[in-house]
Amino acid sequence: MQRFGTLSFGHYGPLGGGRELSAADSMLQAIDLAQGMDELGVNGAYFRVHHFARQQASPMPLLAAIAARTRHIEVGTGVVDMRYENPLHLAEEAAAVDLISGGRLALGVSRGSPETVVRGYEAFGYTGSEDPRGADIARAHFDRFLEAVEGKGIAEADASSPFGGGASGLQRIEPYSPGLRSRIWWGAGNSDSAEWAGRRGVNLMSSTLLTEDRGLPFDELQAQQIQTFRAAWREAGHPGEPRTSVSRSIFPITTAEDELYFGGRQDGDGVGYIDGMRSTFGKTYAGTPDKLVEQLLRDAAIREADTLMLTIPSQLGVEFNLRMIAAFAEHVAPSLGWEPANR
């Protein structure tokens, strides 16, 4: 592990006791928290994307706002659901955010998470899927999106247009960000998807749950997925080294308040059914910093990946989350190999 950041699910709604966290609160707090993390040297702020739910659904305005108010931190998603996206519009927005940020966008995309509605992407106008989960739509959209990000010609220039500047041939989308292609990630929930991502030459975000169960601990299963991805990358002949990330629920307990919230939260891996598929879930880590270091050094996937994303609670506010992240940065991350973004 060289880098760590946060993965926010961005939940908002009733908090109990008559309190309410609104969508505006969620986004404004995310900006404030990212600014604080940027000062600490945290490497990334990433956001889950869910439609028809009280979570982030249109992340680009939020990422642009964070990028404009920070200097070092990577901004990104984990992940954008490609079933819902116009691929060319997404490519334009992603290029704009990447340019605003100075090349700090890490855009994670995939088929998306299990939905709260039935085939919600069809309400967005994307129909005709022959797959019960819309994976064929997601892959087709991703192919078109990647072509646009790579700067390939998309539409024929109109020679008679007074606005074309004499251009001819197929024209790429604008704006165009030359380095963005190397910062596209695919969110993989199983080894087949990870292998596919390696062949395509995009980075790997290993999912918070894996839709496979081979009788192995979650971290070992995830480490094998990363190894499969890297092998496919090399076999396809892609240059350089791809990036890989895993996410974990990790809570350093350094105060009585931490103990109140997370004491006794240590649990084991879980196996169950999500979206009709047998799935494996990772454990929660909660304890004193020295205990966490000992446990995390034994986590095979954390050792294998270059980036660790901490899943953070949305409802506890900026001050609490920043203190928790600072405790991880000071007492835990250096022992795992962390390199601060502002160094």
Q: What is the pLDDT of residues 291-336, one digit of tens each?
A: 999 999 999 999 999 999 999 988 889 999 999 999 999 999 999 9
In which band, very low, low, confident or very high, does the pLDDT at 160 lie, cut at 50, 70 and 90? confident
Which of 296, 197, 302, 202 is closest to 245 using CA atoms?
302
Q: Say which residue the tokens 């519009």 belong to.
A: 89
Q: Is the pLDDT of residue 279 over 80?
A: no
Q: Report how far residue 83's alpha carbon sits from residue 135's, in angstroms, rounded to the nearest whole number.
A: 7
More confident of the two residues 108 and 261: 108
Tell me what pLDDT residue 266 has.
Answer: 62
Residue 273 has a pLDDT of 46
Predicted pLDDT of residue 270 = 56
Q: In which band, very low, low, confident or very high, does the pLDDT at 17 lie, cut at 50, 70 and 90?
A: confident
What average pLDDT is seen over the chain?
A: 92
Residue type at 332 in one-letter notation: V
Structural domains of the chain, ranges and CATH numbers in brackets: 3-161+169-336 (3.20.20.30)
Task: Dump pLDDT digits (tens) for 184-220.
Answer: 999 998 899 999 999 999 999 998 777 676 778 889 9
Question: Collapsing DSSP states into helix, strand and coil, what is residue 298?
Answer: coil
For range 254-277, the mean pLDDT? 71
Please name every residue paired with 278 in a beta bridge, in sequence order, or none if there are none.
Answer: 273
Mean pLDDT of 30-38: 98
Pairing of strands 155-156, 170-171: antiparallel
The pTM of the full predicted model, rounded to 2 decimals, is 0.93
Instruction: Report in angstroms the alpha-carbon separations of 74 from 19, 55, 178, 207.
Output: 32, 20, 17, 19
Residue 162 has pLDDT above 50, yes or no: yes
Residue 112 confidence (pLDDT) above 70: yes
Q: Which residue has the higher pLDDT, 105 or 116?
A: 105
- Cα–Cα distance list, 49 to 35, 60, 174 (Å): 21, 11, 24
Mean predicted confidence (pLDDT) in 158-164: 85
* Residue 241, pLDDT score: 95
